[in-house]
Amino acid sequence: MTTRRLPVYILADVSGSMQGTPIESVKSGIRQLHRDLLGDPQAIESAYLSIITFGNNAQQAVPLTEVAMFNPPDLTANGTTNFGDGLRMLIDSFDRELVRTTADVKGDWRPLVFILSDGAPTDVDWPMYAQQLRERRPANIIAVACGDQADVNVLKQVTENVILMQEMSPDAFRAFFSFVSASVKQTSQKVGAVADGSAITLPPPPPGITIVP
Amino acid sequence: MSDADALAKAGEADGVVSADTSVADAAAVVATNTAAVVAAEPPLPKPATWTVRAPIDAWCPTEVEQALGAVLTAEQRARLFARRDAVAAHPTAAVDERSHSYSEHVRTAEWQAVAAARRGRRHAHVGAWCEDASFCALTEQRGVLVVADGAGSAAWSRLGSAIAVDAVGLALRDAAALTEEAVLSAIEHAVTLMRSCADSMKVAPRLLRTTLLAVAWERTADGAVRVVTSQVGDGMLVLAHADGRITQPSIGDAGEWSGEVHCFLPDDETMSRARASTRSYTVSDLAAVLLVTDGVEDALYPFPRHAPSLLSQLVHGVQHPLTGLTAQALMPPVFSAANPGSALLDWLGFEKRGENDDRTLAVALHHSASPTIAPWAPSTSA
ipTM (interface predicted TM): 0.88
Residue B289 lies in a domain: yes
- Of A39, A106, A195, nearest to B48 by CB-CB distance is A39
Check pLDDT > 60 for residue B2: no
Minimum mean pLDDT range among A60-64, A161-165, B92-96, B199-203: B92-96
- Of A31, A34, A104, nearest to B302 by CB-CB distance is A104
| Of B204, B214, B121, B99, nearest in space to B160 by CA | B204
Q: What is the pLDDT of residue A76?
A: 96
Interchain CB distance below 8 Å, B37 and A190: no
Residue B339 lies in a domain: yes
The residues near A76 (Cβ < 8 Å, ≥ 6 apart) are: A14, A23
Q: How many domains does chain B have?
A: 1
- Report the residue of B3, B9, B351 to disrupt the A interface, i.e. the one with the largest count of A CBs within 10 Å: B9
Judging by beta carbons within 10 Å of its beta carbon (0-12, 13-18, 19+), is residue A179 exposed, middle or buried?
A: buried
Model confidence pLDDT, tens digit, residues B247-258 = 998 877 777 888
Helix ranges (DSSP H) in chain B = 3-13, 23-39, 62-69, 74-88, 121-126, 157-174, 180-201, 270-277, 294-297, 303-316, 340-347
Residue B259 lies in a domain: yes
Residue B4 lies in a domain: no
Check pLDDT > 90 for residue A50: yes
The phi-psi region of residue A124 (left if phi > 0; otherwise alpha if psi is between -120 and 50; otherwise beta) is alpha
- Of B26, B41, B301, nearest to A1 by CB-CB distance is B301
Check pLDDT > 90 for residue B240: yes
Check pLDDT > 80 for residue B159: yes
- Report the residue of A2, A15, A24 to disrupt the B interface, i.e. the one with the largest count of B CBs within 10 Å: A24
| Cα distance between the two ends of chain B | 62
Interchain CB distance below 8 Å, B6 and A170: no
Check pLDDT > 70 for residue B16: no
Interchain CB distance below 8 Å, B6 and A39: no
Model confidence pLDDT, tens digit, residues B294-350 = 999 999 999 999 999 999 999 999 999 998 899 999 999 999 999 999 999 999 999
Q: Crossing angle for the helix pair A170-189 and B23-39, nearest 10 degrees?
A: 40
CATH assignment at residue B295? 3.60.40.10
Interchain CB distance below 8 Å, A101 and B256: yes
Cα gap A126→B80, rounded to integer Å: 56
Q: What is the pLDDT of residue B21?
A: 38
CA nearest B50 in A: which residue? A41
More confident residue, B51 or B3: B51
- Please tell me the CATH superfamily of domain A6-194+201-212, with its number: von Willebrand factor, type A domain (3.40.50.410)
Model confidence pLDDT, tens digit, residues B306-322 = 999 999 999 999 999 99
- Of A15, A107, A190, nearest to B152 by CB-CB distance is A190
Rounded average pLDDT over B174-179: 96
Residue B24 lies in a domain: no
**Domain coverage including residue B89:** 62-380
Residue B177 lies in a domain: yes
Check pLDDT > 80 for residue B166: yes
Task: Enumerate the residues of chain A whose CB falls inside 8 A of the CB of residue B158.
Answer: none
Q: How far does the CA of residue A98 sit from the closest CA of chain B (Å)?
A: 10
Q: What is the pLDDT of residue B262?
A: 85
- Per the CB < 8 A criterion, the answer to whether B326 and B270 are in contact is no
Task: Enumerate the residues of chain B whose CB falls inside 8 A of the CB of residue A25.
Answer: 37
Residue B26 lies in a domain: no
